[in-house]
Structure 1
Amino acid sequence: MAGEEGGADPPANPQAATAELEPPAKADKTPKKLPRVDSIPVVARADGMEFLEIKDLRKHLSPQAIGDKDLVRINIMNYESSESSGSHRDHGPQMAAALFDPAGSDSIELPDFALRSGPRRTIYHNPKDVTAAIVTCGGLCPGLNDVVQNIVYTLGTSRGNAKMPAIVEGLRLWGINPLYVIGGKGGNAAAHPIAKECAAQGVVCNVVGVPKSIDNDIQLIDRCFGFDTAVEEAQRSLISARVEARSSGGISVVKLMGRQSGFIAMNASMASVGPPSRLLEEARASLVAIRFDMGKLCDFVKAIMDRKDYCVICVAEGAGQDIMDSSGPKGTDASGNPILQARAAAPPPPPPRCCRTPWGDVFPLPDSDIGVFLRDIFRKRFPGVDVKYIDPSYMIRSIPTITTDRIYCKVLGQGAVHGAFAGYTDFTVGLVNTHYVFLPTTTIIQFARVVDPKGRQWNRLKTAINQPDM
C-alpha cells in the first residue's frame, strides 16, 4: 500500500479536499473616503486677522513669573556675637545686618530681605527696539564670555579715569539702554555714579551691574563667577610645586592672585592637601602666607626643612606689603585697586629701599613682588637649598571655566537682563544665601571682603596644614 511505503493516504472524500483549495474572495479595491471636516477652528484678532486655533490649558495654569513680592532673606543666621560668627567681614551674608568697615568709614544699615532675581510679568522695553551695551572692567576672569554671551551687545572695556558726564552723553547720543557693567568693586563703583548722572541729565538708561572678581572679594555675594575655576587651577600649581620641592629637597614659593584678599591662596591650599593617608605628611610641609611676621615665617620654614627636607609656601600677591616697605601705602591705580610694592623704574634710580630681617640681613626691595622678595630671602637664609619661585597668576585667570562657573555665569547674565527689562537701575545681580537676588549697587562697593586671620575659614586651613599663627 502507498501508506506503507511512506506516501500520504488519498483523502476519503475528494470533494472536501477540493473545497479547501478554493482561492479566497477578491479584495475590494474601491478607495475608501475619509470623513469630511466640516469646520476648522479659527480665532479672529481684534485687527481682523485670523489664525488657526491651537488648544491650550492656560485656564488651568498661571503665568510663571517673579514678582516684587518674591524676597530672599539676606541674613539667615542670628549670632550671639561677632566672635561666634567666626569672622567680621570675610563672610558677607552672615554679617549683612550692617555693612561696616572696621577702619571706621561710613556704615550702611541693611534690611532683612533683597529682591529675588528673575523674569517679571511686566517688561518695560521692547526687545526689538533695545540697543544694549556691555562694559567689562578689570582684567580677564574665567566665565566673562559666558556672562557677555547671555546679554546682548558688547561695547568694549574700561580701565579707570572715566568722565561721567561724557559717558552719559554718549549713552544718550547712541541711544544705549540698558547698560551692563561687568566688574569688581571698581567697576560697580563706576556704575553707581553713571546711574546718578543719568538721573541728573534726564537720560533714561537702566544701569545694571554684574559682580566680577576673581579674588572673590565682593561683599554680600556668596561667590563671584570665575573664583571656583581659579581655585581649581591654582591648586594644580600647588600640587606641582609640592612635587618639585619634594623631588629636589628644596623650597617652592607659589604666589597666587589676591591683591586685597587671599581667598584664592586660602582655598587652593585647602584643596591641594591630599587624601587622609597623605594629609599629615603634606600638611607638615606646607605653609600659607597672607598676613605674617617675617621672623616667625622663616623660623617655621626652618622647622619644616629640618623635619621634612622640603617645603611649599603659598603667598597671596598682596601679602607682606608692610614688611617690604614701611613708608606707607602707595595709593591706588586707575581702577581703585591698591598699588603693590615695586621699585620705581625712572632713571636715575633713587637709593634703594631696603628690608632688614630679624637676623640683621639687609635686602634691597625686589623689582617685582612679594614672591621674588621671599625667594631672595630664603636663598639667603637657607644657602645650598634649591628655592624655586612659581607665579601662575595669568594662567589661572585665562583658562576655560569649569561647569559650575559656566552655569553660574549664564544665570547671572540672564538675571541682569530680567532686572533691566523689569525697569530697575543702579543694581547688581548676584547669589546671596544660594538664591539669585537684585542688590543696590551701593551695598557691594563700600570695601573689599578680605580673609580674617581670626576667622573660621582661616582656622580650618591652619588646622588642615598644621600651621601656627604667623
Structure 2
Amino acid sequence: MGTKSKYQMKVVNGDFGYVLEDVPHLTDYIPNLPTYDNPLRSNPAYSVVKQYFVDMDDTVPQKIVVHKDSQRGVHFRRAGPRQKVYFNSDDVRACIVTCGGLCPGLNTVIREIVHSLDYMYGVDKVLGIEGGYRGFYAKNTINLTPKLVNDIHKRGGTILGTSRGGHDTKKIVDSIQDHGINQVYIIGGDGTLKGADIIYEEIRRRGLKVVVAGIPKTIDNDIPIIDKSFGFDTAVEEAQRAINAAHVEAQSAENGIGVVKLMGRYSGFIAMYATLASRDVDCCLIPESPFFLDGSGGIFEFVKKRLREEGHMVIVIAEGAGQELLAAENSNAGSEQDASGNKLLQDVGLWISHKIRDHFEKKLKMPITLKYIDPTYMIRAVPSNASDNVYCTILAQSCVHGAMAGYTGFTSGIVNGRQTYLPFNRITEKQNNVVITDRMWARLLASTNQPSFLSTKRQHSQSQLLDGDDNESEITGKQNTSTA
C-alpha cells in the first residue's frame, strides 16, 4: 500500500531493544539554521504551566502491553512545544488544504490551526487552499483569520472545499514557492498523505525551508498506529440515529427487519462500535469477516431463527462487507474506480435487502417487512461532537508546535493516549482493520449473540494471529498488531 520514500527513515537505536522511528527535520538538509526562543515563554496562558515544554528526548512507545522480559521496542517522538523554534513568527506564511471525502471535524481542525498559529505564535498570515490539491495551481486561495474561522466548527464539511484524484507535484511546489509559503498543513486520508509525502520529498530535493505537516483524516478509522482518527466518535454517535430508526420500524411490524448500511470500505470499525453502543442490533457484518447466505450457519438461517424468537431484528452492514459475493454475481462489480483510485463498491445494503426479501417471501412464503436505511452522507456531513472537537483541537495544536519546531514530513496523532509525531510512511504503509480473532470482536459476538457465519474451514483460513498479547485500546477502537 505505501510508497517507498527516496529518503531513508530516521531510526535511532538504544539500549535494551529501544528503537526510535523519528520524523524528518529541516536541519537534515539545511545546515546552520538559526533558532529563536519560543514565543510561548512569554505567553501568559502557558508561561505558568510547569514543564510545559517537551523534553527533546521524550518518546512514546508503540506497544504498551509488555512482559517482564520484553524489549523496549518501537517509539515515536512525543509531540508538543519546544523551547527553541526554527521560524521567526513574523516570517511565517502558512497554508491549509483539505483533501478526500468529508468527515466530521474538518472545520474544527482548520479553525484550531489558524487559532494556534495566531494566539500561540503570533502568526497572522495563513492561506486556505480551496478545492484540495488542485487549488494550489488553480490559484484558489482565501486569507484565513481567527475572526473568519471562529464559528466554522459548528458547521459540517470543510469551508475550503475538497477534491479527489491525482495532482501535479511540481506545480504544487512551484505554487508554494510563488506564494512564499513556508508551512504547509495537509488534512486528509492515506491517499492524501501519500501525496503529502511526495510533496515533502520535492521540497527537500529543492532544499526549501518549508515544513510539510499532516493531520490524518478518515471517518473509517482505518489509519494504522494512531489510537483513532478524528470524526470517528461523531460517526459512531450519529449512526445510532439510523440504528434506532431501523429498530423502531422493525419492532412495529410483523417479522420486521431493519437493515442499516454504514461506512467502512475495508475496515468495519464504525459498524462494530455502533453495534456495541446501540444494544439494538442483532447482526453486524463487516469486511474483515466473510459471510454466506444459504445453508447451515448462513445469514438466512440466523434471520429466520431470530424472527421466530423475537419477532423482529436489526442488521448493520458495513459498505465493504460481502463485496466478494456481489462480484461473484456481477462480473463488472469492483472493476470501476473513483478519482482517488478507490474501487467503486456495489450497494451491499440494497443487495442483501433484496436477497432477504426474495428468500423469505418467494422461497419460504414467509411474510416480512423490511426497511433499508443508508445514512452515509448524513453522517459524513454533520459537525463533530464534543469529544471530536477536543481531539481536533489537540491534533491541530500539536501539529503547529511540530511545524514551528522545524519538524517536517510528519503527521500528528495520538499513540497510546499520548500526542506523537509520526513519519508519513508509517501512516500510509497499511490499513488498520478489525481483527476478528481479537477480544473486541468477541465482545460484539457476545453482545449480539450472532454466529461468526464462518465454517470451520473458513475460520482457519481467515485466522489473524496477534503479536503476543491483545494490545488494543478498550475505548478508541485501536487494534495494534504491529511488531514492536
TM-score of the pair, normalised by structure 2: 0.68
Instruction: State yes or no: 1:232 paired with 2:237.
Output: yes
Instruction: State yes or no: 1:430 paired with 2:392.
Output: no
Distance 2:417 2:64 in 1: 11
Distance 1:210 1:304 in 2: 43
Instruction: State yes or no: 1:215 paired with 2:220.
Output: yes
Residue 236 of structure 1 contacts residue 272 of structure 1 at CA under 8 Å; is this kept in 2? no
Q: CA deviation at 1:214?
A: 0.7
| Residue from 319, 322, 328 that aligns with 1:320 | 322
Which position in structure 1 is the counterpart of 2:359? 381
Q: CA deviation at 1:77?
A: 1.4
Q: CA deviation at 1:63?
A: 6.8
Which position in structure 2 is the counterpart of 1:173? 178
Q: Gaps spanning 5+ residues in structure 2: where?
A: 1-41, 115-125, 133-163, 362-366, 454-484
Which position in structure 1 is the counterpart of 2:205? 200
Q: CA deviation at 1:137?
A: 1.3
Which position in structure 1 is the counterpart of 2:52? 64
| Residue from 257, 260, 266 that aligns with 2:266 | 260
Q: CA deviation at 1:196?
A: 0.6
Distance 2:284 2:109 in 1: 32
| Residue from 373, 377, 400 that aligns with 2:383 | 400
Distance 1:375 1:122 in 2: 60
Which position in structure 2 is the counterpart of 1:137? 99
- SS at structure 1 position matched to 2:186: strand
- SS at structure 1 position matched to 2:113: coil
Q: CA deviation at 1:78?
A: 2.9
- SS at structure 2 position matched to 1:325: helix
Deviation readout 1:303-339 (Å, 9 max, x if unpaired): 1112222111100011111000134853653324332
Deviation readout 1:394-415 (Å, 9 max, x if unpaired): 1112222221111110111111
Which position in structure 2 is the counterpart of 1:288? 284
**Which has more radius of gyration?**
1
Residue 260 of structure 1 contacts residue 338 of structure 1 at CA under 8 Å; is this kept in 2? no
Residues 62 and 219 (structure 1), Cα distance of their counterparts in 2 relative to 1, 3 Å cut:
closer
Deviation readout 1:350-378 (Å, 9 max, x if unpaired): xxxxxxxxxxxxxxxxxxx0011011111
Aligned length: 349
- SS at structure 2 position matched to 1:294: coil
Q: Percent identity?
A: 44
Distance 2:323 2:84 in 1: 51
Instruction: State yes or no: 1:244 paired with 2:249.
Output: yes
TM-score of the pair, normalised by structure 1: 0.70
Which stretch has the larger CA shift, 288-297 or 431-440?
288-297
Residue 131 of structure 1 contacts residue 176 of structure 1 at CA under 8 Å; is this kept in 2? yes
Residues 206 and 460 (structure 1), Cα distance of their counterparts in 2 relative to 1, 3 Å cut:
same
Which position in structure 2 is the counterpart of 1:409? 392
Residues 324 and 61 (structure 1), Cα distance of their counterparts in 2 relative to 1, 3 Å cut:
closer
Residue 73 of structure 1 contacts residue 113 of structure 1 at CA under 8 Å; is this kept in 2? yes
Distance 2:78 2:423 in 1: 12
- SS at structure 2 position matched to 1:448: coil
Q: CA deviation at 1:162?
A: 1.1
- SS at structure 1 position matched to 2:84: coil
Which position in structure 1 is the counterpart of 2:299? 297
Instruction: State yes or no: 1:269 paired with 2:275.
Output: yes
Q: CA deviation at 1:259?
A: 1.1
The AA in structure 2 aligned to 1:439 is L
| Residue from 422, 425, 430 that aligns with 1:442 | 425
The AA in structure 2 aligned to 1:148 is I
Distance 2:258 2:48 in 1: 66
Residues 308 and 64 (structure 1), Cα distance of their counterparts in 2 relative to 1, 3 Å cut:
closer
Deviation readout 1:144-164 (Å, 9 max, x if unpaired): 111111113321232221111
Instruction: After TM superposition, list the pairs within 5 Å mapping 1:25-64 onto structure 2.
Output: 64=52
Instruction: State yes or no: 1:118 paired with 2:101.
Output: no
Residues 61 and 238 (structure 1), Cα distance of their counterparts in 2 relative to 1, 3 Å cut:
closer
Q: CA deviation at 1:187?
A: 1.3
Residues 74 and 60 (structure 1), Cα distance of their counterparts in 2 relative to 1, 3 Å cut:
closer
Deviation readout 1:276-302 (Å, 9 max, x if unpaired): xxxxxx56xx11111311221111111
Residues 336 and 68 (structure 1), Cα distance of their counterparts in 2 relative to 1, 3 Å cut:
farther
Distance 1:200 1:459 in 2: 49
- SS at structure 1 position matched to 2:306: helix
Q: CA deviation at 1:416?
A: 0.7
- SS at structure 2 position matched to 1:112: strand
Q: CA deviation at 1:235?
A: 1.7
The AA in structure 1 aligned to 2:174 is E
The AA in structure 2 aligned to 1:174 is H
Q: CA deviation at 1:61?
A: 9.8
Deviation readout 1:383-429 (Å, 9 max, x if unpaired): 23111110011111222222111111011111111100000110000
Instruction: State yes or no: 1:76 paired with 2:64.
Output: yes
The AA in structure 2 aligned to 1:292 is F
Distance 1:332 1:456 in 2: 34
Q: Which aligned segments of 4 or more residues in structure 1 are displaced greater than 4 angstroms?
A: 59-63
Q: CA deviation at 1:212?
A: 0.7
